[in-house]
Amino acid sequence: MPDAWMADLIRWLAELFGTELFTVKCLLTLLVLCMLCGMVGALVVGNRMAFFSDAMAHCAFAGVALGYLSVLGFQGDRGTAAWLVPLVMVAFGVCVGMAMVYVRDRTGLAHDTVIGVFFALALGFGAMLVRLVQQVSNVNLETFLFGNLYLIPESDLVLLCGAFALVVGVFLWRYNQFMFASFNPSLARTRRMNVMVNNYLFIILLALVVNLSLKAVGALLINALLVVPAAAAANVSRNLRQMFWLTVAFSLCSGAIGYWMSTQMSLNVGTMKNVTFGPSGVIVVASVGLFFGSMIVVAVWNRFAPIFGGKQFHRPMHNPNDPCGFDHPFGQCP
């Protein structure tokens, strides 16, 4: 039923704007995806979890293979795969993410060392399953490496919208605690915040976003959308509230610019004429362009700001005048 509603919405929007159905579906997917990655990406960079989210993205590739094997085990059809594969993917990603945190806390090893171990485990496990899936199914798992906005089914768009609603709800509830725990876990505990619960809850949200975004962006590129817009926002932000909203804005700008460029740019390669670029790759390149652009803006501003009495840019830090300890992006205090 939600798939039918989404199809009707896409059809209505296509008739309203006089455009193709697949174009409307791509733009809707891109809008939801960029807002999701922007919201979660601000915390990924704030928590210094860029390598962690990259590991989860590669673990998702193994989750895809495991999901399709689960469908074959249940002898399911395409309808079964529409809900079972994302469920297995998210569950596998959550388990891997929690295991990384658990092993790090238990062993005392460096965070990057533990992530490297699970990174190798996930890739090795995925490589084991790829050939097995290819032997029993015609599913091409390599399409999940780079993704394809044009092949998103309505069911995946519905799941992305559900994930967006969930992330917004959780952030309204606990965003300040997430950021407080990343800045000073000891101080967060003195304020009776359950740092461990917040860490695991954020891992669940991150696994949800990463796994549900694979078909659109791919396992190799999703981490770029999580990290690069947030890094660009950190360059030009004066506090954490600005960083949050600028991350969302930069993510949306990257998506819009990248998609437009992918539809307008083409190359002539040998005998092939008008060869177009994949939208996912162009979006990521556009986000990197915004990052370097933010560096140039900051450098120029910091060079001339003292002359005109302006304030220089610095990395967003803890706000001592905020009774919560942080500039909450939604104006609330826990």
Structure confidence by residue, pLDDT tens digits, 36-69: 999 998 888 877 888 888 888 878 778 888 877 7
pLDDT computed for residue 73 by the predictor: 61
Is position 195 within any domain? yes
C-beta pairs of 255-264 under 8 Å, 24+ apart in sequence: 255/30, 255/31, 255/33, 255/34, 255/283, 256/30, 257/283, 257/286, 258/282, 258/283, 258/284, 258/285, 258/286, 258/287, 259/26, 259/27, 259/30, 259/149, 259/283, 261/286
Is position 54 within any domain? yes
- What residue numbers bound the domain in which 154 lies? 2-308
Is position 315 within any domain? no
CATH number for 45: 1.10.3470.10
pLDDT, the chain, mean: 79
Higher per-residue confidence, 29 vs 271: 29
Is position 164 within any domain? yes
pLDDT computed for residue 314 by the predictor: 62
What pTM was computed for the model? 0.83
Is position 314 within any domain? no
Number of domains in the chain: 1
Q: Is pLDDT at 27 greater than 70 in this prediction? A: yes
Is position 331 within any domain? no
Is position 321 within any domain? no
